[in-house]
Structure 1
């Protein structure tokens, strides 16, 4: 824990007078992640306005770094010193070359349609919706539908710097005012947080009444993201995670074909250790399995896909009622999962 920063003492900052990446209308929503008080923003530092807290947070290249260090696996120094957090900001040329020449084994079958639906729901609820994106350093698959509507304002946050990062924060303590956004998006995020239940509670807190949540979370995917890979959810486990939300829609987003390609790839990788060999195996595996994902266009809506999916989505609305475990279990229908 960086005691100097959390006690309000000065910490070294680069001279940087560039404007904040967050739109002016979004800056007023920011709150101290420690005590939820308002922040005073300058080009290089954000200061909590509660005298008993007075925590100082760095602003780096226009990006506020609002981390509650006592509750997070990250520190302010991780960002002021530009350490690698989740994404490797300087990948090797070999890794970059491999990414360019290897066909992808991934396919988010439902993402584009789901984001179009989310966009329409948002604009039917509000003429100027505000959307928090967790894991928003890069544009998620299908999110173009949101960008095409200028009325929708995005707060793109992440735990890593990236081309779209406008706010550094930890989802366990979202630094926004209660009830301040119309939607929260977490695409391929919740498997990478220590306590997904806490993160979903925070999503519920910052949403307005009836606000929307959209999440995509893996089920059958091997470990990825290095040390930051913690959990997986079945379809029913994913529904329980969002038990404080009324379901609008849910189902398979990445199908059995993609799950099979991942398993095959990691099966082959288990035979080798040397870095060059792993690169070669990844290339071979992708060349010999990438086409399996195309079966998912046919399989994704079939009942058996719920048991064999690579990942699920959930679209819901903030609710004041909680789905009980009894209701969850009673809602199980064998015919939904029988092949």
Structure 2
């Protein structure tokens, strides 16, 4: 995020309302409010053993308050900030380790005043994720079938994603929550393009509301395949009919087939819309209002007007979400799949199109 992207957004620096597809809650803590861990890593010992250098994938050694690459040819050193390792390869990322050491905002604006966040919560939202909770319950059930204590990597996990309570409340499922931003749940800072873990490490990976914010989503998915165990599970959500909501870090949108092609190395368990055309229409109207604004205060007024007058459109999605026409008009899609040796061909892909009746 990862946020990802994670993925998938709390108070971001973007000019629009935070993405409801991500709707992972609001980030209550700023970097300065984080309670120091006094040198103890936020990750479990088992997960610490899976960590690898994001540059060369050699092992890491904890010394002098840093994680150091064990390879003499590489020799990279990675800081630990309040117990959170910062495993960023500066040469291959939009972000730099120093940004996190200095407490700078990256993808999220963590300096928003608390009363502003509380006021924001009082306003009705324009989006509704219709299927996330149900999908995560299915994901949890699948994880627990082959393993009594599955370990799940969350990309974009600085805050709890919409529906993720179904995993977080499972005592047998261990979550490893990563992001490119500090947050109340961040255990590790890393870039989704270079996941700092050993091959075949995780039983499951979650990429909720993150892929649209990545420069190279396909590279992230290759990394997901690498760190997943054989027959490991992935759950992803990504935006389709949705405007730019993450400012400079907003790059891509996916149709239903576009998202399926991204995961062509996985056997599909389920896929489809999670946020429907009602949400998409509400967002379009909101951004029309925002386009009329010529100053920051006018944008704030238009945003409030939009949320107070357009929120009701999202309630249509409960009835529309499974209709064929929604596949051409949804605000966002999900994919649930299992790591496979077979790759879906493009000819097979196009036969999966669900035509509107």
Matched length: 322
Partner residue of 1:286 out of 297, 307, 310? 307
Mapped pair 1:105 → 2:126 = yes
| Conserved 8 A contact 2:257-2:352 | no
For the residue of structure 1 that corresponds to 2:71, the secondary structure is coil
Q: What corresponds to 1:205 in structure 2?
A: 226
Q: What corresponds to 1:30 in structure 2?
A: 51
TM-score by length of 1: 0.92
For the residue of structure 2 that corresponds to 1:294, the secondary structure is helix
Offset at 1:82?
A: 1.1
How far apart, in 2, do the equivalents of 1:196 and 1:181 lie? 19
Q: What corresponds to 2:245 in structure 1?
A: 224
Q: What corresponds to 1:337 in structure 2?
A: 355
For the residue of structure 1 that corresponds to 2:41, the secondary structure is coil
| Rg comparison, structure with higher value | 1
How far apart, in 2, do the equivalents of 1:153 and 1:94 lie? 33
TM-score by length of 2: 0.88
Offset at 1:54?
A: 1.4
Offset at 1:96?
A: 2.5
| Conserved 8 A contact 1:44-1:60 | no
Could you list the runs of 5+ residues in structure 2 that have no partner in the other structure? 1-35
Q: What corresponds to 1:130 in structure 2?
A: 151
How far apart, in 2, do the equivalents of 1:46 and 1:269 lie? 45
For the residue of structure 2 that corresponds to 1:323, the secondary structure is coil
Taking the TM superposition and a 5 Å limit, the aligned residue runs for 1:31-70 are 31-42=52-63, 44-70=65-91
Q: What corresponds to 2:296 in structure 1?
A: 275
How far apart, in 1, do the equivalents of 2:63 and 2:250 lie? 35
For the residue of structure 2 that corresponds to 1:227, the secondary structure is helix
Task: Give the 4+ runs in structure 1 shifted more than 3 A.
Answer: 92-95
Partner residue of 1:20 out of 41, 66, 73? 41
- Structure ranking higher on relative contact order (CA contacts 8 Å, 6+ apart): 2
How far apart, in 2, do the equivalents of 1:165 and 1:255 lie? 30
Could you list the runs of 5+ residues in structure 1 that have no partner in the other structure? 1-14
Q: What corresponds to 1:148 in structure 2?
A: 169
Offset at 1:126?
A: 0.6
Q: What corresponds to 1:301 in structure 2?
A: 322
Give the 3 Å change call, closer, same or farther, for CA 209–16 of structure 1 in structure 2. closer
Deviations 1:91-121 (A, max 9, x none): 1467425412311111100000000000000
